[in-house]
Amino acid sequence: MLDVRDLSVNYGTIRAVRGITFTVGKGELVSLLGANGAGKSSTIKAIAGALKTSGGAVTLEGRDITSANPEQVIRAGLATVPETRDVFPDLTVAENLMLGAYIHRRDHAGNRENLDRLHTLFPRLAERASQAAGTLSGGEQQMLVIARALMARPSVLLLDEPSLGLAPAIVERIFEMIETLKKSGLTILLVEQNVNQALAVADRAYVMRLGAIVASGTADEIRSTSDLSAHYLGG
Ligand code: ATP
């Protein structure tokens, strides 16, 4: 589904991502783990077309999206939830959601249907539809940005650290939602520092350190074979 081959990202002389290769199969939930600065966000941004790659190739369902811009990437079927979790604070929850449907803006019936589905999945967003997004709690804003990305009707969802800065009970709910999305057949690449929780929902995982992939396998294999604290904490 999503194939990343020899991907490199440089910031001037800083080599943030050093020729990494990984795949996410249809319907799979794959986690990309690693400590601060490992290169996870740079990888996500490069795939999403938000950052120029310095080498390598990204293909989605066999289609080369390496040099595509963010809108072209979304149109190809890949939506991203960045770690910045930015909502348009003065717009309502409903207006924020409709912005996510930009590429389908003429398909009113399809958007209504998708919105109903997302309201079932995120009832809190239905309750808060006319509230300004800036007044939502952190956990609600995270739900909103995930739901907004899903309004684009992607076949692959990239989630960058959805649990960042949220209270444990909220993190629990966010992960439950990620599992529900996986069960609905969505293909997901989940970037996380929250290793235990990410492995609990992932089919497979890759561990990054200093811009390279240092371990990969099923969640069980990663748990049992790699020295997670060394890779994850960079120790
Ligand atoms: P975090 O979880 O802290 O976001 P990460 O694994 O996502 O970490 P990246 O944000 O991709 O890591 O950063 C990888 C490396 O690239 C780091 O050394 C970082 O300092 C560097 N880097 C990231 N963004 C820039 C930038 N805009 N300019 C220069 N260097 C950058």
CB 70 within 8 A of CB 40: no
Confidence band of 230 (pLDDT split at 50, 70, 90): low
Q: How many CB atoms lie within 10 A of CB 13?
A: 5
User: Which protein residue has the closest C-alpha to ligand 1 atom 10?
Assistant: 41
Residue 35 C-alpha to ligand 1 middle, in angstroms?
Answer: 11
User: Which protein residue has the closest C-alpha to ligand 1 atom 27?
Assistant: 11
CB 30 within 8 A of CB 36: no
Residue-wise pLDDT for 69-80, tens only, equals: 999 999 999 999
Residue recorded with tokens 């990305």? 149
40 lines ligand 1 (CB under 6 A): yes
Q: What is the mean pLDDT of residues 121-130?
A: 93
Residue-wise pLDDT for 173-221, tens only, equals: 899 999 999 999 999 999 998 888 899 999 999 999 999 999 999 988 8
16 lines ligand 1 (CB under 6 A): yes
84 lines ligand 1 (CB under 6 A): no
Whole-complex ipTM: 0.92
Probe residue for ligand 1, chosen from 18, 32, 41, 194 as the CB with the greatest number of ligand atoms within 8 Å: 41
Which H or E run includes 210?
Answer: none
Which of 189, 176, 162, 207 is closest to 73 using CA atoms?
Answer: 189
Q: What atom of ligand 1 comes closest to residue 83's alpha carbon?
A: 4
Q: What is the pTM of this model?
A: 0.91
The encoded tokens of residue 7 equal: 């991907």
Mean pLDDT of the chain: 92
Coil, strand or helix: which one is 184?
Answer: coil
The span from the CA of 133 to the CA of 121, in Å, is 18
Probe residue for ligand 1, chosen from 42, 85, 189, 207 as the CB with the greatest number of ligand atoms within 8 Å: 42
Which of 3, 4, 28 is closest to 181 using CA atoms?
Answer: 28
Computed over its alpha carbons, how large is the radius of gyration of the chain? 17
What pLDDT, on a 0 to 100 scale, did the predictor assign at position 169? 87
